[in-house]
């Protein structure tokens, strides 16, 4: 069978008139006249497959990058002025790690209106996570070497503890020079904000005050006797007792706490830390502390709760008596 190729540039003719034999006709027509639907569907399918493949690869790569960033945050920034102690790395790994940018958004870039207070550790801010959970963020002051020690001490101590009368640690942030601790938010702040306020103190009837005293006692007993670790708090005071929405007390601020061994009854230190007025005499004068040191502080706190007066409010008194002397 022969094949012939004809080019016709004149008027349209009937192809049947060209030959009685079978011939192949190649007809040039406009692109718009072609049926492109099948080709378009094929292209779409290929594009979707390629897009899904790229998305999968990017997702895997992103997870690897995040994992490496988390590892770097744990090791700390080598150029940081407050390097992260590698000896305590395992303690931090047991806690949930929060991203710094997440906390910036949660606290409105650590805005002054979000600030709850200021301590030796650094400022404390109120924040709200994307899921609506309210948190308290303790941000270590970058210039505080003592704060870094307290930060690690608090991580080591409170990450091992769990009790209804102890504030709950939710996680931490370790990124570059940033060191932050995240706690459950206590809407009624600290006990001193109620106890020594002329208006709020009226909300503390005897039943509530007794409940607060009892709760602090239970928390202290847990620290000294019932927890896995034997803890001496060393800074028990009204401002370190937080109140939840029902005014239930929770002991907080374990930056100065000390872990005792099972065979240890007391310890000595050259660095006396805590708050004068709450310190036991042997600790303030000799640096000797034990469970009794916390019990002494608890006694001072109990007198403040019962009387509604600060122990330090007597310093300008004519008789120069302290709350203990008055009692």
pLDDT in tens, 277-286: 888 888 888 8
| The pLDDT of residue 320 | 58
CATH class of the 190-327 domain in this structure: mainly alpha
Q: Which of 235, 253, 263, 294 is catalytic?
A: 235
Residues of CATH 3.30.200.20 domain(s) within the chain?
A: 80-185
Residues of CATH 1.10.510.10 domain(s) within the chain?
A: 190-327
Q: What percent of the chain has pLDDT over 90?
A: 34
Question: Which of the following CATH numbers is that of domain 80-185: 3.40.50.300, 3.30.200.20, 1.10.10.10, 3.20.20.70?
Answer: 3.30.200.20
Identify whether 235 is a catalytic site residue.
yes
Is it the case that residue 123 has pLDDT exceeding 60? Answer: yes
| The pLDDT of residue 77 | 42
Is it the case that residue 240 has pLDDT exceeding 70? Answer: yes
Q: What percent of the chain has pLDDT over 70?
A: 72
Least confident of 139-143, 187-191, 237-241, 249-253: 139-143
Mean pLDDT is highest, among 94-108, 135-149, 261-275, 291-305, for 291-305
Mean pLDDT is highest, among 9-13, 35-39, 114-118, 242-246, for 242-246
Quote the pTM value: 0.69
Please write down the HEC assignment for all residues of the chain: CCCCCCCCCCCCCCHHHCCCCCCCCCCCCCHHHCCCHHHHHHHHHHHHHHHHHHHHHHHHHHHHHHHHHHHHHHHCCCCCCCCCCHHHHHHHHCCCECCHHHHHHHCCCCCHHHEEEECCCCEEEEEECCCCCEEEEEECCCCCHHHHHHHHHHHHHHCCCCCCCECCEEEEEEECCEEEEEEECCCCCEHHHHHCCCCHHHHCCHHHHHHHHHHHHHHHHHHHHHCCCEEECCCCCHHHEEECCCCCEEECCCCCCEEECCCCCEEECCCCCCCCCCCCHHHHHHCEEEHHHHHHHHHHHHHHHHHCCCHHHHCCCCCCCCHHHHC
| The pLDDT of residue 78 | 37
Is it the case that residue 84 has pLDDT exceeding 70? Answer: no
């Amino acid at each position: 069978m022969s094949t012939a190729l004809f080019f016709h540039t004149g008027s349209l003719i009937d192809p049947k008139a060209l030959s009685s034999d079978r011939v192949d006709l190649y007809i040039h027509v406009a692109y718009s006249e072609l049926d492109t639907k099948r080709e378009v569907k094929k292209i779409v399918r290929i594009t979707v497959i390629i897009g899904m493949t790229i998305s999968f690869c990017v997702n895997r790569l992103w997870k690897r990058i995040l994992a490496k960033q988390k590892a770097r945050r744990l090791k700390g920034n080598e150029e940081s002025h407050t390097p992260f102690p590698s000896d305590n790395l395992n303690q931090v790994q047991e806690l949930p790690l929060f991203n710094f940018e997440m906390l910036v958004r949660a606290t409105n870039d650590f805005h002054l209106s979000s600030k709850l207070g200021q301590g030796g550790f650094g400022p404390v801010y109120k924040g709200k996570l994307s899921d609506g959970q309210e948190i308290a963020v303790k941000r270590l002051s970058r210039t505080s070497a003592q704060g870094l020690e307290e930060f690690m001490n608090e991580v080591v101590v409170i990450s091992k503890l769990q009790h209804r009368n102890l504030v709950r640690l939710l996680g931490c942030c370790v990124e570059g020079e940033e060191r932050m601790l995240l706690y459950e938010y206590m809407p009624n702040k600290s006990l001193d904000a109620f106890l020594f306020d002329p208006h709020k103190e009226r909300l503390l009837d005897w039943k509530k005050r007794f409940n607060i005293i009892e709760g602090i006692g239970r928390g202290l007993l847990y620290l000294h006797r019932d927890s896995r670790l034997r803890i001496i708090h060393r800074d028990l005071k009204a401002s370190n007792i937080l109140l939840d929405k029902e005014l239930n007390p929770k002991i907080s601020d374990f930056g100065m706490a000390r872990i005792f061994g099972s065979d240890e009854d007391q310890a000595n230190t050259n660095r006396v830390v805590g708050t004068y007025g709450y310190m036991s005499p042997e600790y303030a004068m000799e640096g000797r502390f034990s469970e009794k040191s916390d019990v002494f502080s608890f006694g001072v706190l109990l007198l403040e709760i019962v009387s509604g007066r600060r122990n330090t409010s007597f310093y300008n008194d004519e008789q120069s008596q302290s709350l203990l002397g008055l009692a």
